[in-house]
Amino acid sequence: MKKDEYINTVLEQVRCKAVHEPLKAELVSHIDEQTEAFIAVGLPEENAEEEAVKTMGDPVETGVGLDSAHRPSFPLAVFLPSLILLFTGIIARYLGEGFFAFPPAYNIFISSDIPNAIICIAVALMFYFADYTILVRKPKTAYAAFTLLLAVIVIWNVGRANIANVSGAEWVTIAFRNTLSGHFAIYGSALLVPLMCGFVFSMHGKNFKWFVLSCFVLVVPPALISLYAPCLSGAILVGIAALAIMTIAVKDDYFKVNKTTAYLFMYIPASLAAIGLTVVKILRNIRYNSSTADWEQNMIREIISEATLFGSSRVISTSLTEANNSHILTAIIAQFGLFAGITVAVILVLLPLIMLIISSRIQNRFGKLTAFSIGIVFLFMSVAFIASNLGYTTAMESFVTAPFMSNGIFNAVTSGALVGIFASVYRRKDLMPERKINTNRKANA
C-alpha cells in the first residue's frame, strides 16, 4: 500500500475533521522516518516506503483507535454548574417579585429572563463549536480594535450621564448606575481577556523589551478605560487577569527573559497597587463615613446577621438597590435563608475552580493559557460578587454581577461567550499536541 493511500484510509475512520491536518502531519513524519531507516540498512527506495507503511499496522484499526483517542469532549463539569446558576437567578427573581422594592425596570428584566437565558446558551454553544485558535489569527489587530471600540463606547456613555445634581462621594455610585459605561467597562474587560491571551501568544520568543511592552499594553489602556467609566472593579479585573496571563507566559518560556527579573517586574508594581487601593479605601471610609454606599453596606450586614438558616430573614429591607442583579445573593439569603445563600456561593466559587483544575491538564499551551485566564475571570467575578453581597465592599468598589445568575443581556452574552470559549478549548484538549500554532495561517472554523 502506498503512503497516501494508507493515510487517507486512516483519516477516513476519524470523524473529527479538525484533527485531520495534525494527524496527517504526524503519520507522514512517522512513515518518512521509517522509510529513511530502511534505506539506511540497504533497502531500495521504492521498497522502503512500502515496508515502512506495513510497520504502521492495519490502516482501519489504526484509524479507529485514533478516532477514539481524538473524539471531541464536552465539559459537563463546567456546563452543569453554569446552568444551575443561570436558572437559580431566574427562579430567585420570579419568586422574589414584590419581596424587595425593585427598580421600575424590574418587570422588564423579568420578562426578558427566558430570552436572555436562551441567548446565553446559544452564545455558549456557538463558541463551543467554533475554533478557539481564531483568537491567534490576527491577535494584535483584534486586541487593539476591541480596546479602541471599548474606549469609544465607554467615553460616549459617560458623556451621556446626567450628573448635574450629583456631587461628592455619591458621584462614584450614582453616576455609575445611571449610565451603561460601567456595564461596558466590566463586561468589556472580561471579554478582552481571551484576546489578551492571543496577544501574548503572538509575542512568543521575544526579548525583555517586548515583555515590558506586553505588560504595558495588557494593563494600562483597558485599566484607564475602566477607571474613566468609572468602574474600579473593571480595572482590578484587567490587572489580575493580565498578571495571571503574563505569569504563565514567563513560566512556560514564551519570552526570552530572566524569570526572576520578570516576576519582580510584575509583582512589585502589583503589590504596590494593591496597597495603594487599600489605603484609598481606608481614607475614603474615614472621609465619607455616612455616604450612601456605607449605609448600604451596613444594611446588607444587618440582613446577613439576622438571617435564619431557612426561610425569610427577621430584617427585611425594601430599599436594597439592585436586589435583582448585583445584590441578588443578599436577596436570596433574606428570603430563602443562609443555607440557600451558602449553596449558591459554593457553586459560584466551585465553577471557576473546576475551570482552573481542568485548564492545568490541557496539553496545548495556547489552549491552557486561554482556559486558565477565563477561569481567573470567573473567579474574580464570583469572589467580588460574594464580597459585595456580604457587605464587605461597596457597589462601586466591586460592581460585579454574578456569572450567569444576574440578569441582563450583557451578563448573558459575556457569561455565554466566556464559557463557550473555554468549552471550545476543552473540546480540542486532546486533538492538538503541544505545538506552536501558526499565527500566519487561517484558523480552521
Given this model, what pLDDT does residue 363 score? 78
Q: In 161-258, which residue ranges form alpha helices assigned H by DSSP?
A: 171-177, 181-201, 208-228, 232-251
State pTM to two decimals: 0.79
215 Cβ contact list (under 8 Å, min separation 6): 242, 246, 265, 266
Burial class, 140, CB count within 10 angstroms (exposed 0-12 / middle 13-18 / buried 19+): middle
Among 66, 11, 38, 75, smallest CA distance to 427 is for 75
Binned at pLDDT 50, 70 and 90, residue 441 comes out as: very low
Given this model, what pLDDT does residue 172 score? 43
Binned at pLDDT 50, 70 and 90, residue 439 comes out as: very low
Q: In 229-327, which residue ranges form alpha helices assigned H by DSSP?
A: 232-251, 259-287, 292-305
Given this model, what pLDDT does residue 22 score? 73
More confident residue, 95 or 126: 126
CB 53 within 8 A of CB 6: yes
CA atoms within 13 A on the CB side of 231: 33
CB 389 within 8 A of CB 332: no
Average pLDDT over residues 219-225: 92
Given this model, what pLDDT does residue 179 score? 55
Most confident of 215-224, 271-280, 385-394: 215-224
Given this model, what pLDDT does residue 232 score? 83
Alpha carbon distances (Å) from 385 to 1, 158, 310, 390: 62, 24, 22, 9
Domain-wise residue ranges, the chain: 3-69, 76-427
Residue 245, all three cell numbers: 496571563
Residue 23 CA from chain centroid, whole number:
30
More confident residue, 127 or 45: 127
Measured distance CA(147)–CA(293) in Å, rounded = 30
Task: Render pLDDT for 352-382 as a digit per residue (tens, 0 to 9).
Answer: 999 999 998 887 888 899 999 999 999 999 9
Measured distance CA(307)–CA(94) in Å, rounded = 21
Binned at pLDDT 50, 70 and 90, residue 294 comes out as: low
Q: In 288-408, which residue ranges form alpha helices assigned H by DSSP?
A: 292-305, 328-336, 338-359, 365-389
More confident residue, 428 or 368: 368
CB 18 within 8 A of CB 428: yes
String of DSSP letters for 113-154 = HHHHHHHHHHHHHHHHHS-GGGGGTSHHHHHHHHHHHHHHHH
The least confident of 99-108, 149-158, 424-433 is: 99-108
Measured distance CA(222)–CA(179) in Å, rounded = 18
Measured distance CA(426)–CA(291) in Å, rounded = 46
Given this model, what pLDDT does residue 151 score? 92
What is the percent of the chain with per-residue pLDDT over 70, rounded to a whole number? Answer: 78
**pLDDT at 444 > cutoff 60:** no
DSSP state of 318: S
CB 182 within 8 A of CB 326: no
Task: Render pLDDT for 402-427 as a digit per residue (tens, 0 to 9).
Answer: 899 988 888 999 999 999 999 998 88
Measured distance CA(312)–CA(289) in Å, rounded = 30
CB 220 within 8 A of CB 363: no
**pLDDT at 101 > cutoff 70:** no
